Structures are given as C-alpha cells and as structure tokens.
Structure 1
Amino acid sequence: MITLSLTSLAGAAATALAWLGPVHRPMDMVIPPLTCVFFLVLLIMLVRWPHRLGLIMRVALAAALAALVAPAWFYTWQATQTQGLRLIDIYPPIGSLLLVLMVTAMIYLPTRDGVTIVVAGWLLVALPVLVYLFAHPQEIRTPRGADLLMSYGPVFVLLLVLLPVQRKLTRRIQHLVSEQAHMEAMVNRDPLTRIYNRRFCELVLRDLLTRQIPAGVIMFDMDHFKAINDTYGHPVGDRVLQQVAQRCQELLRKNECLARWGGEEFLVVVPDVDATALHALAERLRKSITELSIEPVSLVSASVGITRVLDGDTTDTIFQRVDKALYRAKKLGGNMVSS
C-alpha cells in the first residue's frame, strides 16, 4: 500500500511538473497522469482484495515498466529522426525510476521473476538510450549525458550484482529470526501441553505488577490425578492434561495467560478483571473440565483457587494466597472454586 501510494504521488508530481514546465511534450502530458490514475486504481483494488497482493504487485511492476519503456523509445526515436534535437535535452528525468523499479522487483518478487524484470527493464529502457549515447559521443560528454550513462550502465551492473546478495542476506536473517522464535517457543512452552510454562507466566505477572494493571490469578489442580495415572497409566494421564489445557485455552482471550504450573497444576493470569468476572471465569473453566469426555476415565474434575492482585502485592504473596485458596477447595471435596 505504501509503494502504490508513493507511486501515485510521484505520478501526480510528474503531472504537475509537466503542466507547469515551459515546454509541453505530448508524452510527458499523457504518461504521468495515466500512471497516477492507474496506480490509484491498483491501491483501491489492494484495499478491497488484499488476498490478491501478488497479482496486483505484478501488474503494478508491469505498468511501471511500460511507463518507462514508452518515453525511452519515443524520445530516442525522436532525437534520432529530428535534425539538431538532442536526447539529453528532451529525455525526462526518469533514470532513477528504473533503479527504483529494479529494487522493487527484487524485493517483491521471487528471485527468478525479479531478475527477469530487472533484465527486461534494462533491455527495454536502458539499452536504447545507451545505444543512442554511444552513437552520439558528444552528448556523453555533457553532465546530463554522463548522468544517463552512469545510471543505465555501471550503476545497473552494480545493482544486478548486489541485489542477489541482498536477497541471500535477507533469507539468512529470516531464517535466524525463525530459529530465534522457535527457541523462544521451546523456552516458554510446556513440551507436553504446548501452553505456556511456569517461567513465562511469572514474567507476565511481574509485568502486570510493574505496570500496575489490575489483574486476577486462577490456579487449578486436577482432582485424583494420581489415581488416574495409577489406574490407566501415564499415557492416559498425559492425554488428560493435554485435553484440559486445550479446552481451557479455547475459553480464554489472547491476553489471558494459561500456563502449566507443574505436574497437574495450571495457572491463569487474567489482566483487567474484577472479582465477579474472575470468579465467573474460574467457574467456566471448572465446568468445562468436568464436561470433557476422555476415555477410559469416567470423570475429570479440578479444584480451583482464585485471588485478585492487591496493592503492595508481589508474585510471592499472590502465589501464596492463590495456593491457599486452592488448598481450601481441595479440602472441601474438590471440583469447586474457592477464593
């Protein structure tokens, strides 16, 4: 969207310069406004159909290439056919736009397609200008001629060499970022349930305390879990933990942190919650656990303790308080919420 917006703006600026200039050449009066309108249409299409990003960018690159090819061939032909007319005097200042097009193609397109656009752009835009300049060496010796020669000659070669290197570096960086994200996931996730682990949940709670955001904490422990392991085996026990974690995760919002606290204990950190909403959420979690059907276990339930974060609290005081609430729920028979 930024690229299309800037291209439309550039077309509008070129249109204004062409109209305000002392000489009104037909090509300069037609291509810039058409380019501006065309890229505005593409921008609107991208807003409405963002899933067609690849197609829209390819069309945009093709249109930009066409907008550069037309003046390159027209003005070169005109300078060749008209006695006393020099290309350096009539060629519009679009040399840098070819370089921008090449960089854009290499950024947005796969390597092979990007190289194809770059080579096609040079053959269709730069080559006719260079052929003309070498056929008219007196124009090369002018500042404008030297600028065109450098833009369409050595600079292009340098760009063609550096862009593939840049692409390789970009892919390497993306690979390193992906590896870093994977390592962070391994550090912050419980390997069995794939929810967050104790370390990460503590970090979330400390962050809420530092920012003084009102929050609540829910801790629940699976009832009679040792009996499940002893009766049905640890694979069944693991499946119970996984399905409990999955069901609870489905009930929570993205900013609510669910973590496996250890063994069969889980912890939920809930930001921006009052006492009533915290108790209601704990009840929903408890009820959803009892509704799970995990063969061959006849009933799965959990005891739940809750507490609100109070002024002057630390992570230690919060965990002590919610642990006592959980202990009370266990002592009263389990499968209940206590505060």
Structure 2
Amino acid sequence: MINVKMKLAIFGVLTCSTYALALPGLVNIPVTGFATSAYTLCNTTGNFGSGIGAAAPVAPGAGTNDTCAYYPAPATNPTPPETGYTLVTSAARSIVVNNAQTGGVNKSVGIVNEYVWRKPATTTPVTPTPVCIYGAVTVMNVLDYDTINAGTQTFEINDLARGGFDNLSVEAGYAILGTTPNAGPVFRIGRTYTSVQHRAFATSPICGDAGGGVPGTGYLALPGFGNSAAVAGVSRFIGTAPISFSPPACLANPTATEQAADVYPPIAPNGSWIDFTLHVNAGNPQPLSPMTYVKAACTTAAPVTRPNAIRLRQTGQEKSPFISVEVTGFVPPTAPAVITPPN
C-alpha cells in the first residue's frame, strides 16, 4: 500500500512538473520536502544498515524492495541508467579525512567516482531543456584513520549529500550494479543538508554499537523538521577534539531535535541539498556504496565542479564519531558559485 500511494503521489507531481520525466526507479524529491519530513523512504529492510544475518538489508528485486531503485540496474558504472542519455564526463575524487582524530594528517579513506549523463532536449521524451543525471558511488579503503582510539577504525559512510540543486525539480534514486554486488541499498532520500543518525536498539553492554535488527528507542525512519546541523543525533564519543569513545554507558534516547532535518536553505523554494541515507564501511560486508543518482534540468554547457559540493557523513550508527568530509563534485550549470554551508 505504501508503494502504491507513493507511485500515485509521484505521478501527480510529475504531471504538473515543468517537463515530463520517464522515471524507472527514480522518485520525486520536492524542493520544499514532504508534508511531515524532508525525507522519503526507499528500501525499508535491514534497519538502515544495522541489521545483520537474517535481519540484513535486502537488495532490490523484480517488484520487491525497489522503491527509488533502478531494477534491473545498469551493467557498469559508466552505463547510462536510462535510454537517450550519453556520458558527458566523469571523475575520481579522493575522500580525505584530516582532523583531530587523524592527528592532523591526511588519511585517504576512499574514493568517490562521479559521472554525469545528459539527454538532449529533442530526444524522447522531449523536454524544454536538456536533462542531466549526476551519479556518485563510493569505494572505501581498509585504513585505520583514527589515531586516538584503540583498535582499527575504518571510515563509515552513513549519508552521502549533494549540493547545488537550488530551486530545481529533482528526481533521485540508486542502483546496485552487477559490478558492485556487495553494495547495500539506499534507505531514504531527503531534500536536506542534515544527515540524521539511526541506531539499533541499545542493550547493555553492547549498547547498539554492534548493530541489530531492531530500531533504537526514539530513532525515526522519517525524521521531522527542526534541525539544520550537518549531523543530527547523539554521540558515543566525549570531550573536545580529539574525542574519545565513552564506554560502558549506553546512549540516552535521542530528542526530537536530534531526529530532525530541515530543507536547506530554509528559504523556499531552494532545496539545494539531496541526502542519501545508506551504509558503507570497508570493515563490513558493504565496502562499496550503491550508485546514487540525481536527475535535474541542465543546459548544453559542460558540467561544472564546486568545492564541497559532496558531503560524506559518519553519523555514529555503530561505534564511530560524527565526521563530515567535504569533497569536490559536479553540479548543475545553474548552481551558485559557492555551495553553502561551507562545512
């Protein structure tokens, strides 16, 4: 029933949009968010990546768990996800963490591979302007980035956010390509800058740090409005930078504000940012992300890049501190010269 309602809602939005879009897999992400949340749900299996074993995330299939997903998926990363599109450009960008946790040293924790495909305005379906699809997939390195806390800490991506889509009608989705069969799904997509933490149910002494199939108390699948921070949640780490893991007490349940995300910037219409909630970690079965896609009107001009247009967030889903990493990314030609906020 949820999928039927969602598809009907998407159809209603698209029939009123400025250009008709064929959307196998993609869903509309309104510029002002949704009625009660900046987010919409995609794959609801796997407890947002915390689930393991029988409770692990389930990949999209033919008519199953496929909301927001291209299925069947494109064959390879550079393959256009829809007919009529041609690859315009691509880039490989290092994910570099340099903060107090790394001792002020650059630690390359992975790569973002980016792709931009474009459909001419005259190609079916005919549109008033060309249409571009912006793709991004991450590949993580097995690297201990944290020099402060004992053990091996590999960087975990819980959210991938893209900026520069100010005032644009946007469709977004993902695919698990045959070249990345171990990738997990996208759990939700939002018109927001804020990545909202989601954790497993906390029981002592593990306290949710090892995941689990049951959501933690107070953690919401669809966050409400009321927070514009980079990461919203509660942390298992204490102190000022560098921060240290704080055992054995379990975390307090999150407040409403700690489970909230505003459309950013809050001046409507704008909606610059698109956030994908997923789960990627070189130390776990998902070292690769799904390919994420954002579709929007563009021009015949070459795609442009902007510093800090991609943000990769570690939100403390298990035993990890809050970290947001800025990466250069492709943006639509209409994007502002500076992607805000700056960090």
Q: How would you bin the TM-score normalised by the shorter chain?
A: under 0.3
Q: Which protein has greater RCO, CA pairs closer than 8 Å, 6+ apart?
A: 2
Q: Considering fraction of residues, name the structure with more helix.
A: 1
Report the TM-score, using the length of structure 1 for normalisation: 0.25
- Give the structure-2-normalised TM-score: 0.25
Instruction: Kindly indicate which of the two structures has a greater share of residues assigned to strand.
Output: 2
> Which of the pair has more CA radius of gyration?
1
